[in-house]
Amino acid sequence: MGKIEGANYNVWVNEDNQILVDFIENLKPSKVFIIVDENTKKHCLPILEKIIDRQYYPIEIHSGEIHKTLQTSESLWEALINYQADRSSLIINLGGGVIGDMGGFVAASYMRGIPFIQIPTTLLSQVDASIGGKLGIDFKNYKNLVGLFQNPNMVWVNTQFLKTLDPRELKSGFAEVLKHGLIQSKTLWDKVKNKSLNFSDADWDNIVFESIQIKNNVVSQDPTEQGLRKILNFGHTIGHAIESFYLGTDKQLLHGEAIAIGMICEAYLSYKENLISKEALQEIQDAIKNVFHFEKGLKIATPQIIDNMSKDKKNRDGKILFSLLEGIGKCTFNKSIQKSAILDALNYFEQI
Ligand SMILES: NC(=O)c1ccc[n+]([C@@H]2O[C@H](COP(=O)([O-])OP(=O)(O)OC[C@H]3O[C@@H](n4cnc5c(N)ncnc54)[C@H](O)[C@@H]3O)[C@@H](O)[C@H]2O)c1
Ligand SMILES: [Zn+2]
């Protein structure tokens, strides 16, 4: 399919396997480690094993966000020590965003940093988490609190991994694809908003490629989120607050599901701020609701969700800041919104 050039690394999408093999061998690694969880060990490692066809050491961790911790990182550092990994050892992170973020964090800090390759295996990690060099772990219930920016040596994307992914996870990742269209590309949006888009045989090759191009374009211009990169937070100020609220209840929402709600609410805020038309708002909410079938009576207009937003680490001077749409395919950032208007937006979602 093709190569997308990052700041100091390349993202290869559905390319010839030999490119990966040659890249690994050119690094002349003393040892190769592949980090997996029980799911990617079962579904993805057999595929990768055949491609790289060389000796490696698998390191397995438990799947799930609750394991994206310092404790799991310690177990990874320990495994590296036990296998006598040195500065020219290579880590391959084979998994979703949890493995990518944490495996990258472990690689970037072990002996002050050893080479690592991201092989994202979920839709979310292919179009989002593996691109842009944000690495880290959760700490004391704060998501991604400890981490750093560090680009991988390479990102290797293969959409064949998506075949074994749980359909709910696939949909969750799709929220970020919709977001990429909304903030930067009307062409991608027009393609993916389509009512007849079928998840089981969608054109993932092109959808993933275009989505990565958009994220890469944004992060290349603003690698450390001083300005433009904030547009990637569209849907996330409200979405994160909803995600945290439902975490630890019996009604857990996946990240993309919470972001989908957040995008409807923040599109409503964009409309109320006279940045988009009523027709655009309708089009956005219809497209999102066509993919995500939200539970009837889902409560989101609660003081605690507003309170969660006040704690967002991106706020400044006590103001709640939003990235809002200025049309379909265009986004602005640092828009300060009153709490009463946010509550209106949450109520709006409950009514539609
Ligand atoms: N670094 C960034 O810029 C960035 C951006 C967005 C999200 N993230 C992070 O990404 C994480 C979420 O990533 P995610 O949605 O990929 O979740 P995940 O890594 O938890 O993966 C979801 C589930 O799918 C399983 N799985 C992975 N690949 C599979 C495959 N091919 N077949 C079958 N099962 C498979 C995993 O074992 C897991 O159970 C969060 O921790 C989030 O903070 C990071
Ligand atoms: Zn997200």
Ligand that comes closest to the CA of residue 164: 1
User: Which residue's alpha carbon is at the smallest distance from atom 20 of ligand 1?
Assistant: 64
DSSP 7-29: SSSEEEES--HHHHHHHHHHT--
Ligand 1 in contact with 98 (CB < 6 A)? Answer: yes
97 lines ligand 1 (CB under 6 A): yes
**What is the DSSP secondary structure assignment for residue 128, as one 8-state letter?**
I
| Ligand at shortest distance from the CA of 160 | 1
Give the mean model confidence (pLDDT) for residues 259-265.
Answer: 98
Provide the pLDDT for residue 224: 92
Spatial CB neighbours of 173, under 8 Å, sequence gap ≥ 6: 122, 123, 124, 125, 126, 127, 128, 256
The whole-number pLDDT of residue 140 equals 86
Per the structure block, which two tokens stand in for 77? 């550092």
Q: What is the pLDDT of residue 318?
A: 66
| Identity of residue 173 | G
What's the average model confidence in pLDDT over 235-264? 91
Determine the residue type at 25. E
Residue 176 CA, closest ligand 1 atom number: 6
- H/E element holding 35? strand 32-37
Alpha carbon of 125 to ligand 2 centroid (Å): 10
Ligand 1 centroid from CA 306, angstroms? 27
Residue nearest to atom 21 of ligand 1 (CA): 96
Q: Say how many Å lie between the CA of residue 299 and the centre of ligand 1.
A: 26
C-beta 152 within 6 A of ligand 1: no
- pTM value is 0.95
Expressed in angstroms and rounded, the spacing between residue 173 Cα and the centre of ligand 1 is 9
Residue nearest to atom 34 of ligand 1 (CA): 165
pLDDT of residue 166: 96
- Judge if the beta carbon of residue 150 lies within 6 A of ligand 1: no
**Is residue 105 within 8 Å of residue 137, measured between CB atoms?**
yes
Quote the ligand 1 centre to 103 CA distance (angstroms). Answer: 12
- The reply to whether ligand 1 has any atom less than 6 angstroms from the CB of 35 is no
Instruction: Over range 306-316, report the average pLDDT.
Output: 75
Q: Looking at residue 290, what is its pLDDT? A: 93
Which residue is closest in CA terms to ligand 1's atom 30?
165
Nearest to 116 by CA among 35, 51, 17, 208: 35
Whole-number Å distance, alpha carbon 32 to ligand 2 midpoint, is 30
- Tens digit of each residue's pLDDT (9 = 90 or more) over 42-69: 999 999 999 999 999 999 999 999 999 9
Its sign, for the CA torsion 19, 21, 27, 28, is negative
Which residue type, as a one-letter code, is found at position 209?
F
Mean of the pLDDT values across residues 153-175? Answer: 97
Cα 327 to averaged position of ligand 1 atoms, centre (Å): 30
User: What span, in angstroms and rounded, lies between the C-alpha atoms of 33 and 91?
Assistant: 5
Question: Residue 251 has what pLDDT?
Answer: 84
∠ at Cα 59 (36, 75), nearest 5°? 110
Residue 201: the pLDDT is 83
Least confident of 125-129, 294-298, 314-318: 314-318
Q: Is the pLDDT reported for residue 248 higher than 80?
A: no
- Closest C-alpha to 309, from 279, 261, 342: 342
Name, in order, each residue with C-beta under 8 angstroms of 127's C-beta and a sequence gap of 6 or more. Answer: 173, 176, 177, 180, 208, 211, 212, 215
Tens-place pLDDT, residues 99-157 = 999 999 999 999 999 999 999 999 999 999 999 999 999 998 788 889 999 999 999 99
Question: Does pLDDT of 315 surpass 90?
Answer: no
The confidence score (pLDDT) of residue 313 equals 64
* 134 CA: nearest ligand 1 atom: 1
Q: Residue 295's pLDDT is what?
A: 87
- Mean pLDDT, to the nearest integer, of 265-280? 98
Q: What are the pLDDT digits (tens) for 284-295?
A: 999 999 999 988
Here the tokens at position 4 are 């997308």
Mean pLDDT of 177-195: 95
Closest residue (by CA) to atom 16 of ligand 1?
A: 96
Q: Measure Cα distances from 22 to 51, 154, 206 in Å.
A: 11, 12, 25
Ligand sitting nearest the alpha carbon of 97: 1
Q: Average per-residue pLDDT in the chain?
A: 94
User: Residue 53 has what pLDDT?
Assistant: 93
Query: How far, in Å, CA of 116 to CA of 4, rounded?
Result: 18
Nearest CA to ligand 1 atom 6: 129
Q: Which two tokens stand for residue 121?
A: 């295996």
61 torsion bin: left (phi>0), alpha (psi -120 to 50), beta (else): beta
Please choose from 102, 125, 222 the residue to mutate so as to test ligand 1's pocket, defined by most ligand atoms within 8 A of CB.
125
- Ligand 2 centroid to 213 CA: how many Å? 16
Give residue 316's pLDDT band: very low, low, confident or very high (50, 70, 90): low
